[in-house]
Amino acid sequence: MNRFLLLMTSGLLVLSTLEAGNYYGPTDLKEKSEDNISIFGPADLTKVKTDNLSVSGPLDFSYLEVTNTLTNKGPVDGDHGKFGKVEVRGPVDFSYVIVSGDTSIFGVLDASDSQFKAIKFTGEEIHLDNVTADSIYFGINDSKRAEKLTLKGNTVINGDITFDSGKGTVLVEDSSVQIKGKVKGGTVTKK
């Protein structure tokens, strides 16, 4: 009997070691630091730090730091994040986020009080309020509808805004918005 318990315990330890960093089903992590995290299901993360984060499902976060890449297949809603690179297939709602590398989004982007390098976007709408970005690129979306970029507050786009479709619209809602580069493939409308 003792050998059986020892064998079972050893097997469980090996399994838990193999699965370190992998989470299945609804996951709620708080004040955790781990090299790489993969979550298969909805995730709610607070004060989490990791090198790479992959989520297949909805992600809600607060005070999340991903040194390298955040990859998500599903909606993302979060505040106070710091990322090396962001790749999302789904709607994104960010506030107080800094992305030091490329941001690639297939969906909708709403961001406030955030900083981005290059934003590569496939979808219909981006809304930026008090955001800084080096450049914004709109790829052609599946719906074939014209793309719309809304800029508010003290938003600054340091480089070009490019619409591949040639039918994009940039709506500037505040006089404090700055577009320092060119708008290619679209028109600018001031409110």
Residue 115 lies in a domain: yes
Residue 57 lies in a domain: yes
Residue 8 lies in a domain: no
Residues 6+ apart with CB under 8 A from 45: 28, 29, 30, 32, 59, 60, 61, 62, 64
Residue 147 lies in a domain: yes
Residue 170 lies in a domain: yes
Q: Is the pLDDT of residue 3 over 70?
A: no
Per-residue pLDDT of 164-183, as tens digits, reads 999 999 999 999 999 999 99
Residue 144 lies in a domain: yes
**Overall domain count for the chain:** 1
Phi/psi at 6 (nearest 5 deg)? -65, -45
- pLDDT-derived band at 145, boundaries 50, 70, 90: confident
* Contact in structure between 160 and 135 (CB atoms under 8 Å): yes
pLDDT of residue 179: 98
| Rounded Cα gap, residues 76 and 57, in angstroms | 9
Give me the percent of the chain exceeding a pLDDT of 90: 85
Residue 59 lies in a domain: yes
For residues 82-89, average pLDDT: 98
Which residues form the domain of 125?
22-190
Residue 30 lies in a domain: yes
- pLDDT-derived band at 56, boundaries 50, 70, 90: very high
* Contact in structure between 37 and 53 (CB atoms under 8 Å): yes
Query: Cα 106 to chain center, whole Å?
Result: 10
pLDDT of residue 13: 37
| Rounded Cα gap, residues 38 and 45, in angstroms | 12
- For residue 58, what is the enclosing H or E element? none
Closest CA to 115 of 83, 71, 147: 83
pLDDT of residue 20: 62
Cβ neighbours around 85 below 10 Å, total = 18
Q: Is the pLDDT of residue 9 over 70?
A: no
pTM of the model: 0.88
